[in-house]
Amino acid sequence: MKLLVTGGAGFIGTNFIRYWLRHHSDDTIINLDLLTYAGNLSNLTDIAETRPAKRYKFVQGDILKTTLVEDVLKIERPDVIVNFAAESHNSRAILHPRRFFETNVMGTQVLLDAARKYGVERFHHISTCEVYGELPLDSPDAFSENAPYRPQTPYNASKAAADHLVNAYFHSFGMPITISNCANNYGPYQHPEKLIPLFTTNALQNLPLTLYRSSHNRREWLHVEDHCRAVAAVIKHGKIGETYNVGSGVEKSIEEISDFILDALDKPQELKTYVPDRPGHDCRYLLDSRKIAREIGWQPKIPFEVGMRETIQWYIENQKWWQTIQQQADSETVQEDKWETFTRR
């Protein structure tokens, strides 16, 4: 089988490529990535060096470029497209919403049209729990695949729009699609702007851990390896036209995450600093993942405490990786303590 993986130099895309090649040694992967600030080819250096060119190939390019995308599909003729390519940082989306809609919606549309033109057998789209909006903190509810879409931030709205677009191509054109909506991921190779690597790397440097004042807002946390197994299971066994929620059932507040990291690194609680909430800061996400368990047989395997300790250890052992990223930080690095100034504009 030949797969085109978009966004394969990003966090989840990197881990998916590693997972797939580890378990499917005869398959071929084409990695299409623009290499924005969040894409890092060093994530896959060992793959590129040890895999024959016919098994792994990297193409740098923008999914918004129709000619480039069509050329890749015309030459490579992938059986499956797995679309990880996305702008995904909620805080950056508050500052630059247009960029998120261009990549996440129009980029997906370019891929879908090219997939139709060249007869791709499966288009799997990676989405997020955040398209469903938020749940009250005291609610016993979880989002099923039939929950209404109620996105509350530009990032969430762009992913919701992409989901609707993918489904529309199934209903209008018979495109063989599947969608997975996942919980918050954590694990190795995650960009240090995201919560767990940010808090871990800051704590290692004795820098403040910046928590929003609503620090008891909760998220569902899923190890990236479990997510990759779920995507692979949907590609192999998922029903065309269906959406599958992928969650762990493990909810932790931002306060609990910061405490776990500080305890694991033996750092003082005084490193925690509280700042105003980001606009559109959702209270709680939780997915009902019974469908994927029932229909495909997938369940998460990595306990939260085990996965977190392994993740923290990875950042301890790979300081050069994240320090290089920090040194190359672009001029648009988000200042999470400046939201009051931003919202008064």
Is the separation of the CB atoms in 64 and 110 below 8 Å?
yes
Enumerate the β-bridge partners of residue 128: 182
- Work out the angle between the directed axes of helices 195-204 and 254-264 (0-180°, nearest 10): 40
Domain ranges (residues) in the chain: 2-186+222-249+281-302
The three-class DSSP label of residue 235 is helix
Start-end of H helices in 187-266 = 195-204, 224-237, 254-264
Cα-based distances in Å from 338 to 94, 104, 213: 12, 26, 13
8 A C-beta contact, residue 126 and residue 182 = yes
164 Cβ contact list (under 8 Å, min separation 6): 149
Helix (H) or strand (E) holding 101: helix 97-101
Beta strands in 257-330 (DSSP E): 272-275
> Tens-of-pLDDT digits for all 345 residues of the chain?
999 999 999 999 999 999 999 999 899 999 999 999 999 999 999 998 887 777 999 999 999 999 999 999 999 999 999 999 999 877 888 888 999 999 999 999 999 999 999 999 999 999 999 999 999 988 889 999 999 999 999 999 999 999 999 999 999 999 999 999 999 999 999 999 999 999 999 999 999 999 988 778 899 999 999 999 999 999 999 999 999 999 999 999 999 999 999 999 999 999 999 998 767 667 789 999 999 999 999 999 999 999 999 999 999 999 999 999 999 865 556 555 554 555 444
User: Are the C-beta atoms of 252 and 218 separated by less than 8 Å?
Assistant: yes
pLDDT at 344: 45
The two structure tokens encoding residue 230:
């779920």
Measured CA to CA, the distance from residue 68 to residue 74 in angstroms comes to 10
- What does the alpha-carbon distance between residue 113 and residue 125 come to, in Å, rounded to a whole number? 14
Look up tokens 């009051």; give the residue. 340
The yes or no reply on domain 2-186+222-249+281-302 and CATH 3.40.50.720 is yes
pTM of the model: 0.93
CA 59 and chain centroid, separation: 20
- Give the Cα separation of 199 and 226 in Å (integer): 22
CA distance 260 to 247: 20
Closest C-alpha to 166, from 151, 177, 156: 177
State residue 88's pLDDT score.
Answer: 81
Neighbours of 137 (CB within 10 A): 13
According to DSSP, residue 126 is labeled E
